[in-house]
Each structure stands twice: as structure tokens, then as C-alpha cells.
Structure 1
Amino acid sequence: MKKETYAYPSTMARMKAEYKIFILAFVFIVIADSIGQIQVPLGPGTLILFPIFYSLIMGVISGPEVLKIFNKKEVKAASKLVIVAICPFIAKLGINAGASLEVILSAGPALVLQEIGNLGTIFLALPFALLLGLKREAIGATHSINRESNLALITDMFGPDSPETRGSLSIYVVGGMVGTIYFGFMTTMVAALHIFHPYALGMASGVGAGILMASATASLALIYPNMAAELSALASTSETISGITGIYVAIFVGIPLTKKLYQLLEPPIARLRREPSEVLESRKKEMDAKENNAKSREER
């Protein structure tokens, strides 16, 4: 006699929501890929719109606040699937890193240490994030440029449902929409100044984010068509090194620095905003827990 299995309604509802996400995501990808790149000349620069921009826009307008194709439960389910979707790309980064060890070891200090420059943005971004009302989300949002590897790192360290991961995911999405346009336009504007050598611009294009690198190098290829191959190679090498060094910089410097600054800045900014301080409340709970433990030991 064949034993019947029963799927709980919550499990069936979750699977239904995930299938809906997968199907519509595939439809969005097909539509975006059919549109392709759009180049808009703007003064000495050029705006380049990539397919990922259209996909993200379609995802945003299909949410519960606009077209309501997805409800809030499906949006929450989709946020957990992001890390699953980017795992193949993260594995590809690891493979490229292993194959490029000789390049990394032979690279100059400008390439190896360029990731340290991203740490300076923490001192500017974190106070602004707190002033806008973010709490622990600011740690995930401001510790780095928040691309695939950083999102995976934050998810692994703090958990997929943590405020830190929500902050990192938010910047990941915003970076995909705004970053591609900004990088492509900024590259053409800087190149038009004729201050930096094209090779320097190629190396600067590799910041640890594949889509941002693609946007920058596509703009450079339009400006320097005879050097397109060399610029792409330099950008790819810089991208690989940034992806590797960026993880270690985030683990040992970026995240600890952001957490420390959060502990220092959150209480005064919370007072400025006239709202409760998460840091002070957390410290109070810890003190109460210690006092309760001490009392229980004395009673024993």
C-alpha cells in the first residue's frame, strides 16, 4: 500500500509564491534582454541603460505599493531567494580568483590596496543613514559598496532575516539601478577631462561589482575603441582583485569599523531625531540580565 504524503498549507503557499517569483523573474529577464542597452548622449558624457536596470524597475513596480502583482509575503520570500540566485556568480568569482592567483601576486600596490579606499565612504555614509532613520540596517548598508560577495557575507554573518541583511540588500538593489547609470556617466565625464590615462580609468572600473564594471568599460570602449581590449583586461584584473581583497577588508576592517561607529553615533543621532536609541536599550537589557544573574547566584 502506497503511503500518502501531506504538505502543510504554509509549505504549499510558500512554494506557490516562489514559483510565481521564478516565472515572473524569467519574464522580466526576457523583456529586459530584448530591450538591450540604450545609450543616451548627455553633454560630454553618455548615459548607458543596461538590461538589469529594466529588470529592477519592473520588479519594483510589480510590488505591493504599485501594481500589486506581488504581495508583502511574496516580497519577503523573494528577499531570501536573492542569495540563492547570486550563488552561481559568487562561485564564478571564486573560480576566477583561483585562476588569477599569478596575476594577483604580480599586481602592483595600486591594484592590491585599492579596496582600502572604499573604507572612507563609511565615515560619510553611516551618519547620513542614521539621520535618515536607519538603525542596524545602516551596518549592512554602509560597510561597503554592497555587491554580490558583500551581500553573501552579511547574510552569512548576521542571518537572512537580520536588519543588517535588509540594509545590504537594499543598497544592492539601489546600486543595480542607480549605480549602472552613475558609473557609465561618471566614466565618460572623467574621461572627457583628459586628466587620467585610459589605463588608469580601466583599472578604476573594477570596484568589485560586475555590473558596475560592465557599465564603466562599455563607456570607455566607446571613447577609446582602439584600446577596448586592453581596458577590458585591466578592468577584469582589477575586478578580480577587488572581489578577493574586498571580502577580507570587509571582514577584518569594514564591518568591525562600521559596528564601532554605529555604537558611537547611534545614541546622539537618536536623541537628535527624538527617538529611542537601540544601542542604549540593548545596553540596558544586558545590564539588567547581568544583575538578574548576579541576584540568582546570591540566592543560591
Structure 2
Amino acid sequence: MSEPSNAKIGTVTAIGVTVLCVLVTAGTEYAGALELRIGTFALVLLPLFFAFVITVAVNLSLSWRRPDVAPLVWSTAGKLLQLLTVVFVVRAGVVLGTSLPTIIEAGPAILVQSLGKTGTVLLAFPAALLLGFGRASIGATFSIGREPSIALVTERYGISGPEGSGVLATYISGTLFGSLFFSALAGVGSAIPLFGSTALAMACGVGSGGMTISCAGSLAHGSQDLPQDEILALATASDVLTYVTTVLLGTFVVLPVLERLYRAPAAARNRLESGDTAEAGPTVVPSSLVAGLAVTVLLLVTQGWRAAPGVLVLLVLAIGARLLGHRTGRFVPTVLWAALVGAVLTVPGLPWSPVMLRILSAVDLLTLATAVLACVGLSVTTRQLKILRTLSWRAVVVTLLVFAGSFFTSALLAQGALSLVGAAG
């Protein structure tokens, strides 16, 4: 009896991964979010977090019971993830396009404060090196580690490497503690005379709906000089802008700088050797056609048939962005093309915007993020799990430093810009 071909193995594995991602995404979305109240604070765990936890648990079980099959699942999920993350960024670009008038209306301060997102590295990167993160320190500290960050790391390094372990460590810690911590940061910021409510509201936009709402809500509760609606509007506009700054600053500024700093002699003494080598992947992966069909099925089933036109348009745009990204390489990465395409198609006032907005808005962004995180959970390798287990409490410490650096650097830049234009309130 002949052995099955690599193409057949890749196709069968892709079908299995797709079915599992569909079931997990649909199930967690149906169950909805879970709100945990801790005194006056509310910790909201979204379906995407549970999707990630479930698929990681399945991954662990598979790695233990079928270590021969697990690498096929990792590589196949990673292949699907390459396209799925680009689809997500295109859809996130739609949010940017529709919010562009609000961002412009907020004035130069909101643009200046977005540069403060690079503040994630000020405290966190040296701490990560000292705590032995190795190359995982790059992925863990270049941004606050939400979905756009995962997309950028996936494209640039691959999710199975130490950089992927770093961004996952920040993502997991941020999901568990981010909302609570940002609520506290807003209170701390309000107690510092240097900062006005306008600057702090802008600093609350961190590229995560839950964290942004927690921060803005806490700020609005105690603000005496700015209406609640205005605080929420500024935070939301900043939140949307962060999606783009994560990609732009991460690609052209933060990641290149961190790569150079990591190679510096002073950093070499603080590296964990176990975090500096990527795990070798199997040679059997589904073809690009099979991966594309798998992603199409996953999105059509989880989004519903009413969103089918939007799903198909997003897929075409994502494939186009990937082709452009392959041609332009690191100078203009795929995820940047994806964000720009999504934004340009939906900027208000352009003749095609109403039609494209109606079609693309039918695709729910959070459901799409849930599908991405379900796929990420199946991409996690045993080596990454060992790194995450090794980092343990250190990942939480670094993540909180990432958040604090981003928040206070953004607030400081916003306050400076507001002071220059005479609107420091």
C-alpha cells in the first residue's frame, strides 16, 4: 500500500484545522463575553480569548497524545494564519478610513501622541533582557501586543519563533490584566498635575477595545473638566489610530531599533539561549490554494452568508496586499498595504466609499479576531509553550511595563502638543 502524498496530507490536515477553528470560533462567539467584577473594576473576557485558550488546550493534548501529528497542525495553522491576519488588518483599515474625519478633527495632538506608542520599549525592553527573555524580548515589547502586533510578527518572523513567543506572552498577560491595569493607570495619570484630561483621554487609545474602554471609563468617572462623551470620543479615535501606528512605527522604527539593540554587546549578557532559536517546522504544509480555500470556508461559515460578499472582497484585497508585500519586501510590508487598502476604500467623501463600507462592514471585526486567535492557538509549538512557562510571572511584569510606557509617553506627548497650541485642558 502506497504512502499518502505530501499534498494529500497537507490537504487533510488543512480540513481538520479548518473544522476545529470553525467550531471553536462559532462556539465562543455564541457563548459571548464573560464579565468578572472585582470591586469597582470589571474584567471583560471576550470570545477571542476563550478561542485562544481552547485551541491551545487542544494543541497541548495533541502534542502529548500524537507528537507525530502535532507539527503538521502547527505548520498548517501557521499557513492559514498568514492569510487570515492580512484579512483582519484590511478589515481594521476600514475602521481607520471611516474614523479619519474624527481623527483629523481631534487636531495634531492626537497624531503626536500616537508616536508615544513607541514608549512600550523604554522600560520594558531593558527589563525583558534582564529577566532573560532572549529574542522573545523583541516581540514582547515592540508594541502592546494585540492583534495587529501578532499580524506583524507573523509576517516578519513567523509565529513559531521566539519573537512569536514574546508577542503571545504580552497578548495573554494583557488579556488577563490589561483592562484592570489601564483602569488603574487612568487614576494614577489623573492624580499627576502635569496631565490634563484631554491628553489622558488620547493616551487611553491603545489598540484594544476592552483596555481603551476601561481606561476611558475610569478617566471619565473622575474627570471634572471634560465631558464623558468627549473623553470616550478622543479615546476611540486614538484607539483606531493605534492600529496604524503599530504597523507603521513597528515596521520602520521600533523593530529595526530593537534588532540593533539586541545585537549590542551589552545586551548579549542578558540573553536566554533557549529563547533565541526558532523551532524547525515540518516540510508538509498545504498548498497556497488549499490554504486560501480553507480560510474562505472558515470566514464564510463563522461570519454568516449575509457577509459573504464582504468576505470575498476582503480575501481578494488581502491576496492583493500579499502580492504587493512580496514585491516591496520589508520596505513596505504586507500588513501596511492591507491597512492602507482598507482605509482608502472607506474614507468618507470618496465616490466608492458608501458601497464598499456597506459590503465590508457586514464582516464583524471581533468575530474575525476570534477566528485569528483560534488559529494562533493551534500554531503554538511545544517550544513556545516551554518559553512561556519559563517566562511565567516575568511576562506579566514586562507586559505591565509595556502598558505603562505606552500610556505615559503618549500622555506626555499629547500634553506637550496641546500646550503648544494653547489647549492644555
TM-score, normalising length: structure 2 = 0.51
Q: Is the 8 A contact 1:202 1:234 kept in 2?
A: yes
Quote the residue 2:38 is aligned against: 40
Return the alpha-carbon distance in structure 1 between the equivalents of residues 176 and 227 of structure 2: 28
Q: Is the 8 A contact 1:47 1:185 kept in 2?
A: no
Q: Is the 8 A contact 2:162 2:276 kept in 1?
A: no
What is the letter of the counterpart of residue 62 of structure 2? Answer: N
Quote the residue 1:49 is aligned against: 43
1:114 paired to 2:113: yes
Q: Is the 8 A contact 1:142 1:258 kept in 2?
A: no
The alpha carbon displacement at 1:23 in A equals 1.3
Q: What secondary structure is seen at the aligned counterpart in 2 of 1:248?
A: helix
Q: Note the 1:1-300 alignment, pairs <5 A.
A: 8-33=8-33, 35=34, 37-41=35-39, 46-52=40-46, 56=49, 59-60=52-53, 63-64=56-57, 70-72=61-63, 73=70, 87=86, 89-105=88-104, 107-188=106-187, 190-191=189-190, 193=191, 195=193, 196-220=195-219, 222-223=221-222, 227-264=227-264, 265-270=266-271
Quote the residue 1:294 is aligned against: none
Return the alpha-carbon distance in structure 2 between the equivalents of residues 99 and 250 of structure 1: 23
What is the letter of the counterpart of residue 49 of structure 2? Answer: L
Return the alpha-carbon distance in structure 1 between the equivalents of residues 62 and 128 of structure 2: 27
What is the letter of the counterpart of residue 150 of structure 1? Answer: S
Change (3 A) 1:116 1:102: same
Aligned length: 262
- What is the percentage of aligned positions where both structures have the same residue? 30
The alpha carbon displacement at 1:137 in A equals 2.2
1:136-190: per-residue Cα shift (whole Å, max 9, x none)? 2222221121222222222222234443233223322322222122113333454
What is the letter of the counterpart of residue 136 of structure 2? Answer: E
The alpha carbon displacement at 1:50 in A equals 0.7
Instruction: List gaps (5 residues or longer) in structure 1.
Output: 1-5, 280-300
Return the alpha-carbon distance in structure 1 between the equivalents of residues 201 and 207 of structure 2: 13
Return the alpha-carbon distance in structure 1 between the equivalents of residues 81 and 24 of structure 2: 14
Change (3 A) 1:255 1:229: same
Change (3 A) 1:182 1:87: farther
Q: What secondary structure is seen at the aligned counterpart in 2 of 1:140?
A: helix
The alpha carbon displacement at 1:263 in A equals 0.4
Q: Is the 8 A contact 1:32 1:55 kept in 2?
A: no
Return the alpha-carbon distance in structure 1 between the equivalents of residues 168 and 209 of structure 2: 16
TM-score, normalising length: structure 1 = 0.69
Return the alpha-carbon distance in structure 2 between the equivalents of residues 76 and 47 of structure 1: 40
Instruction: List gaps (5 residues or longer) in structure 2.
Output: 1-5, 64-69, 278-425
Q: Is the 8 A contact 2:134 2:270 kept in 1?
A: no
1:51-100: per-residue Cα shift (whole Å, max 9, x none)? 32x76367537745xx9874233577666666666555522331232334
Q: Is the 8 A contact 1:149 1:247 kept in 2?
A: yes
Return the alpha-carbon distance in structure 1 between the equivalents of residues 183 and 237 of structure 2: 19
Q: Kindly name which structure, 1 or 2, has the bigger radius of gyration based on alpha carbons.
A: 1
Change (3 A) 1:253 1:106: same
Change (3 A) 1:255 1:130: same
Q: What secondary structure is seen at the aligned counterpart in 1 of 2:263?
A: helix
Q: What secondary structure is seen at the aligned counterpart in 1 of 2:270?
A: helix
Q: Is the 8 A contact 1:188 1:219 kept in 2?
A: yes
The alpha carbon displacement at 1:205 in A equals 1.0
* Higher RCO structure, 1 or 2 (CA under 8 Å, sep 6+): 2
Q: What secondary structure is seen at the aligned counterpart in 2 of 1:8?
A: helix
What is the letter of the counterpart of residue 231 of structure 2? Answer: L
Return the alpha-carbon distance in structure 2 between the equivalents of residues 7 and 277 of structure 1: 32
Return the alpha-carbon distance in structure 2 between the equivalents of residues 84 and 211 of structure 1: 25
What is the letter of the counterpart of residue 185 of structure 2? Answer: M
